Amino acid sequence: MTTMTVGDLVKVSGVTVRTLHHYHHIGLLVPSERSASGYRIYNDTDMDRLQAILTYRELGLGLREIADAVVSPEGSVDALRLARRRIDVQIAKLTAIARSLDTTIARGGGEPAMSPEEKLSVFGDFDPADHEDETKERWGDTDAFAQSARRTSRYTAQDWEAIQAEASKIYDRFHALERQGIDPDSPEARTLASEHRDHISRWFYDCTPEIHASLAQMYAGDQRFADAIDASGEGLAAYISAAITAAYAD
């Protein structure tokens, strides 16, 4: 049986000593043996587990999801299915962005604003145009609507890519809290709700606490928005709605 010290494993795997120590600390990868001097020793089974961890990490899974995957065959299958869904989403987004870039190149370069069709390609199945009339009817006379329309009319494919990536990270962190059983009224969830509000203000309009609370009600009460958000994780819309509501409950 092959055995390796921490230093040996660092050399062959490319991970850092700090990462191995962290994996040990959280119980994700605990070396099976100790040398006579007390040094950690990894055997073949440990190295196979590290390979699996690195594979799942490359697929975009979080450490908690990886932990679930490596403890049982059922967890492994669930993790692979989750990774596959995320890959499909990324492929669709990147394909849409590539089409938008091709259009920009065909126009002669530069960064022209995206057409409605290009915006739709980035958003995927959720078409903002489907809600345009309703949006104007509900908020068309507000400063927020005018500000959002003015900003988004100038956004390019790269801008929308950045928006989607930032939103996905926030949603993933919300989903992680939900999966850990963290209450939406917790300090962690409230902090993330604040980051969600900042994201909206940064890209669309000045999102006041009143507007943010109204959005929370819409996330929970409008099935179309709930379905779009829940694509990032089942029950996510309700959790985000509860976290935002809790942030302004005091």
Is 66 within a domain? no
Q: Cβ neighbours of residue 41 under 8 Å, at least 6 residues apart?
A: 3, 4, 5, 31, 32, 33, 34, 35
pLDDT level of residue 30 (50, 70, 90 thresholds): very high
Q: What are phi and psi of 64, to 5 degrees?
A: -65, -40
Q: Which is more confident, 122 or 159?
A: 159
Percent of the chain with pLDDT over 70: 78
In this prediction the pTM is 0.50
Q: Are strands 4-5 and 40-42 parallel, antiparallel or unpaired?
A: antiparallel
Residue 118 binned pLDDT confidence (cut-offs 50, 70, 90)? low
Q: Are 215 and 244 in contact (CB under 8 A)?
A: yes
- Whichever domain contains 191, its CATH number is 1.10.490.50
Domain that holds residue 20: 4-58
Q: Residue 195's pLDDT band (boundaries 50, 70, 90)?
A: very high
Mean pLDDT of 102-107: 58
Residues 27 and 132 in one domain: no
Could you tell me if 113 and 173 lie in one domain? yes
Number of domains comprising the chain: 2
